[in-house]
Structure formats: C-alpha cells, structure tokens
Chains A and B, each alone.
Chain A
Amino acid sequence: MSERINRLQIPMEELTITPGSACQGCGAALAARLVFKAIGPNAIRHRIPCCPDSTTAHPSANSVFESGGAMLTGTWRGLKAIGRTDVQVVGFFGDGGTYDIGFQSLSAAAERNENIWVITKDNEAYMNTGNQRSGATPIFARTSTTPVGSVIKGKQMRKKKIAKIFAAHGIPYIATTSVGYPEDLIAKINYGKTVEGFKMLIIQSPCPVGWRYDGSKTIAMARLGVQTGIWPLFEIIDGEKFKLNYKPRELKPVTEYLKPQARFRHLTDENISLIQEDTAKEWETLLKSDELGRVLL
C-alpha cells in the first residue's frame, strides 16, 4: 500500500456542507471531510447516533443506534432490487455504533459479506453524550463513567482489537488509518472502492474535548498515536493477507502520546509501563505478521 501513496490523489472537490457543528479541533470532522472526498458524490451516507462531525452533500438517512449493519444491508439490497448497483453505500459511524451497541448487526452484515462500506471514526469514548467509556476506550483512560476516584482510577479494561475481530469474519478488506496520515486514509478508500463486498476502515480521530488536550494539536496527537505504536496503520485482505503500512525504525515511547492528554494525567509509572509493554508486544506481532504477509492474533 505505501508505494501507492501519493499526495496528489487527494481530490480537490469539497463535499463538506458548512457550517458544521463539530467542536474546534475535531478529528472526526476531518475524517469525514477526507473520507467523502475520496468516496465521491455517488453514494448514500448513513448515520446512526454519534458526534456531529461533518455533514457532506450526500443523501443521508438515519436509523436506530443499534442497526448500522442492517441499515446498510437494506440500502444495498434495495439498490440491487431496483437496479442501481452503481451507488455506493457508506456508513460513517462512531466507536459506540461499531464496537458496542452496533456490533451485532455489523457482525451479521460482515458474515453475509454485504457490499457496503463501514467507516468508523474512533474517538475512544461516547463523545456525543459527553465522554462516557466505550469498548474503544483504552485502558486507564479517564472518562465520565470511568472517573479517577480514590479507589478506582480510570478504565480497568483494555480496548477491543476491533480490526482483528472483523478480519476474523473473513471480510475482503479492513484497514486502520488516522487523520494524521491523510494520504494513507485516501489511498485506503481508493483501494476499497475497487473491492466488492464488506469493506471497513477504522480511523483514529482524536477528540480534544474528551481527551483533554489543546485543540490545535489534533494532527500532532494523531501522528504520535501512530509513531508510538499505540495506533498502528495496517490492512488485512480476505481476513488473512496482512500489511503494516507504517514502519518506523524505532517507535517513540508511549509517554510522548500519553503525557499531553489529561485523560491519562493520573497514570502511575506502573500503568505507563503496562501500556508500553502491551504496545511493544502488539508491535512485535504486527511486524511478524507483516513479514509473513499473514495476520497473527
């Protein structure tokens, strides 16, 4: 994939409808802008409840929170029935609609290999309702439902490895990407557009309000996520073929990513070394997978 990356591939056409209602420095708003530039105008964009990122000039429909996979399925099958298979069906969901409440219907749509796009802007908590923990919240992070109390400090569970979970469905394409690496993001959409079947993209989308960092530092935060190995960029084809898209000679220490975020301010040295160990272990697995060209759990 990396050899296909080219800055000039980012389309000039702007599909975002302004003004939006996103917060300053919203990573998800940028994710929407980039994603739909690459998708182009011939698409139906579906929504389920999530943060108000960027509205784009697409026909759009809403359904219930738990139904993302079913809504995309119905749209695709309906288009097939009326002979309009040229139209792309895109779900642009949050981590709640993907990892948690929406997981069941997405898993079923993946198993049926519906010809749809599932794109997740992962801001690692339920930001729409004001930063409550989700299955995407990393370990030890402070949210309003995993507060830093005198007894329990932050979330006590690890984040779900959602990309590998969906890869295990054997879907044709799944990739992780980041708003800090727009060329990678665009290239992955462009590749997915050539694939028939279930396509999925998980985009790390930093949230200055929930993560508590300076809103002007969103891109820096996203890049640090990738450069520390916390948010590796990879792709899995047909549930098996693996490629690591960003391989620095050496990863930066996780503290560089954790320190500027007040959601991690309370972390002890012990907490930090656990995150560092987790990250190193996963990185090693990813390097091995990349070498083999086959995903390892």
Chain B
Amino acid sequence: MVGNKATATAVKLARVQVASAFPVTPQTTITEYLSDMVANGELDAEFVNVEGELSSHVVVQAASRVGARTFVCTSGPGQLYMHHPMHQTSDNRLPVVMATVHRGNKGMMPDHTDLMSQLWTGWMQFYVEHNQEALDTCLMSYKIAEDERVRLPIAFGYDGYVLSYTAEPVEIPDQKDVDDWLPPYKAMPSILPDEVLPENLGGRWDRSDPQKRWQEHHEAIVNAKDVIVEVNESYGKKFGRSYGNGLTEEYRTEGAEAVLVAMGSLTGTARAAIDRLRDDGLNVGLVKLRCFLPFPKEDFQEIGKKVGAIGMIDRNVCLGHGGAAYTQIRNAIYDLEERPSVLEFIAGMGGKEVRVDDIYKIGKKTLKAAKSGGVSTSTEWV
C-alpha cells in the first residue's frame, strides 16, 4: 500500500466526519482516495472540494468547532499557504489532524522545510518513517489531539514520493477494534445555540491578560508528552504495534558509544547503515526522532548521559540558524554535567539522495568525535 493510501485508510478507520483538501503534488492522491471512499459510501463524511489550501484549513477548523472529527492534508507550497489559519486552529484548541506529505520549499522534491516552517503555529508535529507508521500515527493523532488534557491540533509528516507513491506492506486494523479504541469526538466548549454558555455569547473573550493565552498554549503542548506516551502504549496493546515510547524510538543503542539521530524516511536508510557499522564492530546506535513538537528534551538528556557523541541528521535547515533538531538537541543536553559532542549533518535537502554509505560515514565521524571529544561545531552538508 502506498503512503497516501495508508493515510486515507486511517482517515476512514477514524470515521472522520468532515475532510477538506486542495490537490498539490505529492499529496494529491489522498484527495482522490477520500473522494472515492465518499462517492462509494465507504466513508460517511463531508469531503469539501475547495479552491485553495487556506480554505481547506478553515473548513476543517470551523467543522471541528461545531463538533465534527476532521482531516486536512497538504504538501510544500500548500502548507505555506495555510499558515495563517493554523494559528487560529491551535489557539482555539481544536483537535484537527493534518497529514503533510513533505515537499521542500525549493523545488518539488522532499525535505522537511514545509512543516518546519510551521514551528511557531502551536501545532504538535510528528515525522514518520514508513507507510505503516503513517497509518498508525494518523489514528494515534486523533486519540492524542482529542484527549481532554491536550485538545490541540496535530500534523504528521511523511516524505513525498519516497513514501507517498511507494508501496510497502501495511497492516490494516479492524474497524471494530478502532471503534472500541477511539471514542467519538465532542466539541468543548460547544458553540451550538442551545448548548453555548451565556458568557460565551457574542464571541467575547477575556482580554485582561493576553500573555496568559500564550503561556497556557505552550504548557499544554509541553504537557502533552505524557499523553503521547500513554496513547503509544495503549495502541501497542490494542493493535500490537508501537513506536519506542511514542516520542523517540531507539535502534541498536545498547552499549553504543555514539548515536545518530534521524527523522522521517531517512531513518530507514540509517537503520541499514547502523547494521553495517555494528557488523564492522563500531558501537554506533540510532535514535528516531518521531515527535518533534513537543520536543522530547528528557529523552535526549538520558541518551546524552550514555554516549560520547550525538550526530543529528537534519532534513531541514532554518536558514541562518541551522538544523532545527540539532539546535534543540544541543539545547537539551546543555543541562547535563558531562555533555556529549553534538554534530550537525544536513542531508536530503530538496530530495537529494542519501545513501547507506553516506550515513555509514556520518556514523564513523560521530564515533570519532565520541572518542576524541571537542569537535568543530560547523555544519556538514552531506
């Protein structure tokens, strides 16, 4: 099953009630799968064909507010176009779920700059490795986003072409099991005329402390980590699949002197490189950074205590700053008494091919830094 079909299947299993999207390569086929499902009566939902991504976003935002479970999806330029209302969706604490089929901001090919450009919109962000994880993460996203302790929107991203149009074996959960696990969604507070609270009539809100909204929003995202861990565990129990602790997933890290960190489909390539490094007697492990927002700071502090160096492979760059995950990891380990080196590698930008061999070399370099310490902080473009 191709990645876009896996996502559309998850949308159907979640019994989404209102979906909207505007076609953009490489997300397009999701809109076609969903249209087919609605046209054939497999999915009892309103699928709204709109005139652009901004409208698709506002359609699901408004539908979520009245109490419908919603889905929206996009890629690259479409993601940038819908930036404006993304702030409103999260500010109103609406549990919209969005799939971002990565397409970079320079050209058609994938990197993570589309979704990374939304870091300040107050959405939670997941980056997934393969098509099975896309389906599973989509279902988990509804459970996390709609949890009363969270009530925030989630975007999960997967690399365009590499996953969107590539078939992989995908196990599909039974509808009945999903129905048992994922209860129906209810809006809160309600804006139906017969349910709205009198103090909310007229759309008035408390403006006495404008900063409080920011603080509460920030804390809600940070605190969502516990719910993410919980949902990952319960998904594992119900469906037999889970991903590390839900935030990060370790691969062959036992006794590792150094670890590499990867996101999205590059993780698969990195797994093969780690196998080769281990075969050659080099103690390098791998960490998949799955949940980027909220950032799993504590996970990296634990890892940082055990290894001499961390090599971050970012498939994004905040121009003038550097890789977004690299910056966060260095921030996280700063609190440790003994800090590992953190190396920055930027790879796969604009769809540039990354081979097992490339990551093998990154692994060797990171291991060397673990042994010698004091590496240069300059960025390496792979």
Residues of chain A having any CB pair with chain B under 8 Å:
17, 41-47, 55-64, 66-67, 69-75, 77-82, 84, 87, 104-105, 107-108, 112
Q: B305 to nearest A CB, angstroms?
A: 45
- Is the pair B55, A105 in contact by a Cβ cutoff of 8 Å? yes
A108 and B51 alpha carbons, distance in the complex (Å): 6
In the complex, which residues of chain A have a beta carbon less than 8 angstroms from the beta carbon of B64? 74, 78
Instruction: State the Cβ distance, A93 to closest chain B Cβ, in Å.
Output: 14
> Given the complex, which residues of A lie within 8 Å of B68, measured CB to CB?
77-78, 81-82
Q: Sample 25 A-B pairs with CB under 8 A, ordered by A number.
A: A41-B193, A55-B202, A57-B201, A57-B202, A59-B191, A59-B192, A59-B203, A61-B191, A62-B88, A63-B58, A63-B62, A64-B85, A67-B85, A70-B57, A71-B59, A71-B62, A73-B48, A73-B62, A75-B66, A78-B64, A80-B46, A81-B46, A82-B68, A105-B50, A105-B54
In contact, B88 and A43 (Cβ under 8 angstroms): no
B192 touches A87 (CB 8 A): yes
Interface 1/0s, chain B 34-61, versus A by CB < 8 A?
0000000000011011111011111111
Q: With A17-B201, A47-B203, A71-B61 known to touch, is A42 a contact of B191 (CB < 8 Å)? A: no
Q: How many residue pairs, one in A and one in B, have C-beta atoms under 8 Å apart?
A: 139
Residues on the B chain within 8 Å of A78, using CB: 17-18, 46, 62-68, 70
Q: Is the CB of A79 within 8 A of B66?
A: yes
Q: Assess the A60–B203 pair: CB atoms within 8 A.
A: yes
B20 and A59 form a contact (CB under 8 A)? no
**Chain B neighbourhood of A59, CB < 8 A:** 191-193, 196, 200-201, 203
Total interface residues on B, CB under 8 Å, equals 40
Q: Which residues of A contact B203 (CB under 8 A)?
A: 45, 47, 55, 59-62
In angstroms, how far is the closest chain B Cβ from the Cβ of A220?
Answer: 30
Residue of B nearest to A74 (CB): B62
A104/B52 in contact, CB under 8 A: yes
B212: interface (CB < 8 Å): no
Contacts of B176 in A (CB 8 A): none
Is B204 engaged at the interface, CB distance under 8 Å to the other chain?
yes
Query: A-facing mask of B171-214, CB < 8 A → 1, else 0?
Result: 00000000000000000000111101000111110000000000
Task: Give the Cβ gap from A6 to chain B, nearest Cβ, in Å.
Answer: 27
In the complex formed, the residue of A with least CB distance to B205 is A62
Give residues in B with beta carbon < 8 Å to A: 17-18, 20, 45-46, 48-52, 54-68, 70, 84-85, 88, 92, 191-194, 196, 200-204
Alpha-carbon separation in the docked complex, A112 to B46 (Å): 13
Report Cα–Cα, A179/B85, bound state, in Å. Answer: 33
Nearest 9 CB-CB pairs, A to B?
Answer: A74-B62, A60-B203, A78-B63, A70-B55, A70-B58, A81-B17, A74-B59, A108-B51, A78-B66
Instruction: List residues of chain A with CB within 8 A of the CB of B202.
Output: 17, 55-58, 60
Q: Which A-chain residue is minimally distant from B91 (CB atoms)?
A: A62
Q: How far is the CA of A87 from the CA of B64 in the complex (A)?
A: 16
Using known A-B contacts A55-B202, A58-B193, A75-B65, determine if residue A66 contacts B54 with beta carbons closer than 8 Å: yes
Residues A104 and B51 in contact, CB atoms below 8 Å apart: yes
CA distance A244 to B143 in the complex (A): 55
Q: Are B67 and A82 in contact (CB under 8 A)?
A: yes
Whether the Cβ atoms of B54 and A70 lie closer than 8 Å is yes
Contact B18 A81 (CB under 8 A): yes
Other CB < 8 Å A-B pairs besides A74-B64, A77-B48, 10 of them? A44-B191, A61-B92, A71-B59, A71-B62, A74-B58, A74-B65, A77-B63, A78-B64, A79-B66, A108-B50
- Measured between beta carbons, the chain B residues less than 8 angstroms from A67 are 54-55, 58, 85
A63/B17 contact (C-beta < 8 A), A70-B50, A82-B67 known: no
Chain A neighbourhood of B51, CB < 8 A: 104-105, 107-108
CA distance A58 to B17 in the complex (A): 25
Name the residue among A44, A46, A55 with the largest chain B CB count within 10 angstroms: A44
Q: In whole angstroms, how far apart are the Cα atoms of A55 and B88 in the complex? A: 21
Closest beta carbon of chain B to A206's beta carbon, Å: 24
**Which A residues are in CB contact (< 8 Å) with B45?**
81
**Chain A residue, CB-CB nearest to B88:** A63
Select from chain A the residue with minimum beta-carbon distance to B85.
Answer: A64
CB closest residue in chain B, given A48: B58
Q: How far is the CB of B118 from chain A (nearest CB, A)?
A: 15
**Residue numbers in B under 8 Å from A87 (CB-CB):** 192-193
Q: Give, as a whole number of angstroms, the nearest-CB distance from A201 to chain B.
A: 20
Residue of chain B at shortest CB distance from A68 = B58
Contacts of A112 in B (CB 8 A): 48-49
B26 to A: closest C-beta gap in Å: 24
CA distance A17 to B204 in the complex (A): 11
Chain B residue nearest in CB terms to A40 = B193
- CB-CB under 8 A from A60, the residues of chain B are 191, 201-203
The residues of B that contact A45 with a CB separation of less than 8 Å are: 203
B17 x A64 contact (CB < 8 A): no
Cβ contact within 8 Å between A75 and B63: yes
Bound together, the chains give a CA A47 to CA B65 distance in angstroms of: 14
Contacts of B60 in A (CB 8 A): 74
Which listed residue, A41, A56, A74, A84, touches B48 by the CB 8 Å rule?
A74
**Chain B residues near A69 (CB, 8 Å)?**
55
A79 contacts which chain B residues (CB < 8 A)?
66
Contacting residues, chain B, for A63 (C-beta < 8 A): 58, 61-62, 85, 88
Q: Find chain B residues with CB under 8 A from A66 CB.
A: 54, 84
Q: In the complex, what distance in Å separates the CA atom of A87 from the CA atom of B65? A: 14
**B17 contacts which chain A residues (CB < 8 A)?**
78, 81-82
Complex Cα–Cα for A20 and B239 (A): 55
- Closest chain-B Cβ to A222's Cβ sits at a distance in Å of 25
- A65 to B, closest residue via Cβ: B84
Q: Is the CB of A71 within 8 A of B66?
A: no
What is the minimal beta-carbon distance from B121 to any residue of chain A, in angstroms?
Answer: 12
B63 touches A108 (CB 8 A): no
